[in-house]
Structure 1
């Protein structure tokens, strides 16, 4: 009996703490957005695939810098916060994914989180993945090594996505956009 109870409790707790991917919220005006953890399949459904596929297909990756990125990104993890309702995210996220794919980055080391836009919930997620990370603009790409933040690209790159990524992963001085803002501003 104890083992049955333990099994039921284990399954229940897993269901409570697991979050499904690609949850969608529909606003009163009928517009939708993704919320919470997202996998690449989330960008293959309407209305997201329209901007995602077009942005992915049209972006030309800097092949010279990809070689450096491919070599230097080993051992890194990436957290990508976005809003599928945000123009900057619609522009940059397909490009970021294309760069990572071209660099053969292991996608298991990429965590994508779509944030809310509703009043009182702006830039939050159901799982709280953004907590303590000072996400003030989206998209925000955070590069981590051994679980610690190395640096981030906020909203848009300073030079180019590839150049900014190289600066960060090679440990060169890099100051992201909005570095002086706090979440309360």
Structure 2
């Protein structure tokens, strides 16, 4: 009996602490979007794959630039804040994912958070991952090293994603759009 109770307690703890991925909201007018932590399966599911997969497949990263920063990039954790409702996120997010995969970036070091679109919840997530990070535009790609923010790309790169990533990981002077 003690073992059954222990097993049941462990299942309850796991169930409570498990993060829900790919939570979908549908508004009264039928607009669908994801909120909170999401993963590639969420972006590759309908209706999001309509924009994600095509842009991912058609993007060809600059292999020379990726090779330049590939090793250095492994030292970073990345948080991508996006809106599955946002044109800029739809344009840049598939490119970023393709670049990271080309660089053999460990995807467990990438956290993707989809932000809300609704009035009163605009650019927030259900579990508050954006709190304290000054997310004013999406997508926002934040680079962390040893738990501290190093820099970010906001809304769109200054040059190309590859060039901007290289500037950030090699600690060049880089001031993102909408610098805070």
Cα distance in 2 between the residues matched to 1:154 and 1:43: 20
- Structure 1 unmatched runs, 5+: 181-185
- Please report the TM-score for the alignment, with normalisation by the length of structure 2: 0.93
SS in 2 for 1:53: helix
* Alpha-carbon shift at residue 120 of structure 1 (Å): 0.7
SS in 2 for 1:141: strand
For 1:1-185, list aligned pairs within 5 A.
8-180=8-180
Q: Deviation digits for residues 13-68 of structure 1, max 9, x if unmatched?
A: 43233221111100001110011111101111111001101111111211110111
Cα distance in 2 between the residues matched to 1:147 and 1:178: 23
Cα distance in 1 between the residues matched to 2:5 and 2:13: 12
Q: Deviation digits for residues 57-92 of structure 1, max 9, x if unmatched?
A: 111211110111212112211000000000000000
* Alpha-carbon shift at residue 10 of structure 1 (Å): 4.7
- Structure 2 unmatched runs, 5+: none
SS in 1 for 2:144: strand
SS in 1 for 2:68: helix
Q: Contact 1:19–1:127 (CA<8 Å) still a contact in 2?
A: no
Cα distance in 2 between the residues matched to 1:8 and 1:131: 34
CA RMSD of aligned residues (A): 1.5
Cα distance in 1 between the residues matched to 2:13 and 2:157: 40
Cα distance in 1 between the residues matched to 2:4 and 2:136: 46
Q: Contact 1:151–1:168 (CA<8 Å) still a contact in 2?
A: yes
* Alpha-carbon shift at residue 8 of structure 1 (Å): 4.7
- Please report the TM-score for the alignment, with normalisation by the length of structure 1: 0.91
Q: Deviation digits for residues 102-144 of structure 1, max 9, x if unmatched?
A: 0000001100010111111111111211111111100000011
Cα distance in 1 between the residues matched to 2:124 and 2:8: 31
